[in-house]
Structure 1
Amino acid sequence: MTGLRLRVAGADMAAVPEARHALREMLVHWREGDSAAVAELLMSELVTNALVHTETGAVVTATVADSRLRVEVRDFVSAPVAPPEPPRPVPDDATHGRGLALVRSLADDWGIRARPLGKVVWFELKCEAA
C-alpha cells in the first residue's frame, strides 16, 4: 500500500498546488494518463472546497491499495454535514459550484462521511500499476 498525508492550513490556497504535486509524486509508479490527471483535478477540487468553506484547514490523505486510489479530505468544522447530492453548477461564468459535480461525474465512487468533529469528503478511482 502506498500513502500520503498532508495538513493544509485554513485559507492557504498555495496548499492546493502543493497537494497536487504531492499526489503526483505519490502516483509516480502508477500509469500516467487520465487516472492520474483526474485524481489531481478531483483532489484539488476537494482541497479548495475545504479551504474556501472552512477556517480550520484540512487533512488530506491518499492511499493506493488493491488497484484503487482513495483520496480523503477531512475538515474540522462542527457544522452539520452537507447532503451528499452536490449543488448544480451555476449556468453562468461563475467559478463556484462545480467541484462536487466534477467529483460525482469523474470518480468511480465518492461520498461524505460525518466525523465527531467535521466531515470527510472522499473519492476513489481505479488505478493500474505500471
Structure 2
Amino acid sequence: MLRSADMTAVADVRRALRELLTSRSWGGSGGCDTAELLTSEIVTNALVHTNRGAEVTATLLDGFTASASDLLRVEVRDFVARPPRMRVTDCNGTHGRGLMLVQTLADEWGVRSQGAGKVVWFELYGGPA
C-alpha cells in the first residue's frame, strides 16, 4: 500500500518493476523504459489526485496465446471513485500529459470501478529481450 502523497514511493515502484522485468528478461531496455514511464504516470496520478494512497500490481503472463508475446499488465488501485480525465495542455505546460502518454504508448489501457475506488491499468506486449 502506497501512502497518500508519498512521492518517494514512485521511484520504489519503478525500481521493483525493473527488477521484475529484468529477472524475466522481458521487453529489452526499451520495453522496460516504457513500462516504467507508464507506471510512474499512473502511480503519480493516484497519489497526487486522490489523497488516499494506492495499491500497485504488476503481472507478467508468459505466452498467453501461441501467437502473442508475453504480456505485462500494471494496475493501480486508488480509493476515489472519480475517474481520471485526459487534459489538454499547451506546449509550455508542466502537467497534464500522463494519461496522454499512457494512451499513446500502452497497447491497451483503461479504468474500471472497484469498490470504493477505481483501477487504472495498462498492458504492454513485450516478450524476451
TM exceeds 0.5?
yes
CA distance in 2, matches of 1:80, 1:47: 15
Which TM-score applies when normalising by structure 1? 0.86
- Is 1:10–2:4 an aligned residue pair? yes
Which TM-score applies when normalising by structure 2? 0.87
Aligned to 2:78: 75
Aligned length, in residue pairs:
120
Q: Once the two structures are aligned, what percentage of the paired residues are identical?
A: 54
- Is 1:19–2:13 an aligned residue pair? yes
- Is 1:87–2:87 an aligned residue pair? yes
Look up the equivalent residue of 1:39 and give its one-letter code.
Answer: A
- Following TM superposition, by how much is the alpha carbon of 1:121 offset from its aligned partner in structure 2, in angstroms? 0.4
Aligned to 2:113: 114
Look up the equivalent residue of 2:107 and give its one-letter code.
Answer: D
Unpaired stretches in structure 2, ≥5 consecutive residues: 65-69
Unpaired stretches in structure 1, ≥5 consecutive residues: 1-6
Structure 1: 4+ residue segments shifted above 6 A? none
CA distance in 2, matches of 1:128, 1:82: 29
- Following TM superposition, by how much is the alpha carbon of 1:38 offset from its aligned partner in structure 2, in angstroms? 0.2
- Following TM superposition, by how much is the alpha carbon of 1:94 offset from its aligned partner in structure 2, in angstroms? 2.2
Aligned to 1:62: 58
- CA deviation vs aligned residue, 1:81-128 (integer Å, no higher than 9, x gap): 346xx222x114222110000000000000010112110000000011
CA RMSD of aligned residues (A): 1.3
- CA deviation vs aligned residue, 1:20-40 (integer Å, no higher than 9, x gap): 000000001224221110000
CA distance in 1, matches of 2:109, 2:35: 12
